[in-house]
Amino acid sequence: MDAFEIRGGRPLRGETRVYGAKNAALPILAATVMAEETCVIEGVPELEDVRVMTDILRSLGARVERDGDRITVDPRAIAHTNVPSDLMKKMRSSIFLMGPLLARFGEVCVSKPGGCVIGQRPIDYHLRGMRLLGAAIEERHGFIRCLSGRLYGASITLDFPSVGATENLIMAAALADGVTVLENAAREPEIVDLANFLSRCGAEIEGAGESRIVIRGVHHLHGCVYRIIPDRIVAGTILIAAAATRGGVTVSGVRPDHLNALLGKLRDAGVRVESERDIISVECPDGYRAVDVRTAPYPGFPTDLQAPLMAMMTTAEGTSVIRENVFEARFKHVNELLRMGADITVDLRAAVVRGVPRLSGAAVECTDLRGGAALVIAGLMAEGVTRVEGLHHIDRGYQQVDVYLRDLGADIVRLRGGPSA
């Protein structure tokens, strides 16, 4: 099992560039099966989750080629609509194939995704929406089989603005007969990106990025060339790491408007933040104050940056209350931060983080993707050596994070396949 060995205490300094967003790439790659021509997606990060998605597309019969950050998908040879359960189990986002395959081919069979470490993660909103669009759904022996001659536009109100359900339903409705109105939709930038991609292929979607999205179904989608948006969560993680190590970093290739909630919190904490066009800089040589955070659907503070921000808050001046409102069990990283000397208590959905003068290096284990990023940040902040195990979680969402951090002056190495410390 790979591990990172981090010698902490060095401020991150320098300039870096972010790559395309995993959470935009995954639904957009899934949506390519709806087109009747080749699609070229640019800016796609090299990540394990993306590899699983392209493996799924190939298993369905699509021709998929990667050349650098560009992936070409030719969906014309898709021969069946059963998503292989071994690949489905590797990545929850394979549920994104449900809407596109159902809309394009009138049927789909996927295995039911299980819960995961950050919560139950049910898919009831996805299924209810598909039923309202006219699909017959049978759940048996861990499989979900959806059938529809055609899908028909419907009025759908989500109980909670779920990102995945909004995306799945936009895709299904794009090829349905008639108009679909989606209320209480999620507003994340990745949803706007998916809608822009589909529109480039000929779909008619209005209101993406707002709570009410109107989709006029069309009969065909053609191919296109599309560049996905920069990864706001990767950019946010680097900015937090820079501030937490009392450093100064400039990140380019970003959309500052996608990171308003984080930048506001960093400023409240006393971090100097500057942004213009596609560049954000932070500078924080003298430490920072504790801030309170509540995660919320976009444009609120992103749940995916909750763990990284918590790592930063462990050595803030004062006490920070961090409330998780999106996932019910997203505090698994707390135990590992405690091993490094943090002072945190968790009461249901709130973590109280009392700032300590410094963290100390320890052997810790990633529990999930963003929790893993938090441990890397904590390792960079800590005195002494931190060994972070369970890197497969981090590799799902951060492309060669050790190389990026080394370029910014971090002392971090990947130990390949060695025995546990």
Residues that bind ligand UD1 (CB under 6 A): 23, 26, 93, 119-126, 160, 162-165, 186, 190, 303-304, 326-327
The span from the CA of 405 to the CA of 13, in Å, is: 9
Name the closest residue to ligand UD1 (Cβ): 164
Q: At what angle do helices 22-31 and 98-105 cross, to 10 degrees?
A: 20
Phi first, then psi: what are they for 340, rounded to 5°? -95, 10
How far CA 141 is from CA of 83, 112, 121, 123, 145, in Å, comes to 15, 9, 19, 16, 11
Residue 325 C-beta: closest distance to ligand UD1, Å: 9
Look up 224 and say whether it is catalytic: no
The span from the CA of 377 to the CA of 370, in Å, is: 11
Q: Which is nearer to ligand UD1, 93 or 250 (CB)?
A: 93
Q: Per the residue annotation, which of 39, 109, 116, 146 is the catalytic one? A: 116
Longest Cα pair distance anywhere in the chain, in angstroms? 63
Residue 120 C-beta: closest distance to ligand UD1, Å: 6
Q: Across 47-134, where does the E strand assignment appear?
A: 63-67, 70-74, 107-111
Q: Which is nearer to ligand UD1, 74 or 304 (CB)?
A: 304
Burial class (CB in 10 A: 0-12, 13-18, 19+), 159: exposed
Q: Which is nearer to ligand UD1, 122 or 149 (CB)?
A: 122
3-state secondary structure of 121: coil
**Number of neighbouring beta carbons within 10 Å of residue 417:** 7
Q: Which is nearer to ligand UD1, 190 or 389 (CB)?
A: 190
- 9: closest CA among 384, 418, 393, 406? 384
How far CA 32 is from CA of 80, 85, 89, 153, 288, in Å, comes to 15, 20, 21, 21, 45
- Judge whether 135 and 156 are in contact, CB under 8 Å: no
Looking at residue 229, the DSSP 8-state letter turns out to be: P
- Tokens 């998605």, located at residue: 53
Residue 104 C-beta: closest distance to ligand UD1, Å: 21
Q: Which is nearer to ligand UD1, 294 or 339 (CB)?
A: 294
Q: Which is nearer to ligand UD1, 125 or 404 (CB)?
A: 125
Residue 207 C-beta: closest distance to ligand UD1, Å: 18
Residue 387 C-beta: closest distance to ligand UD1, Å: 26
Residue 15 C-beta: closest distance to ligand UD1, Å: 26
The set of catalytic residues is 116
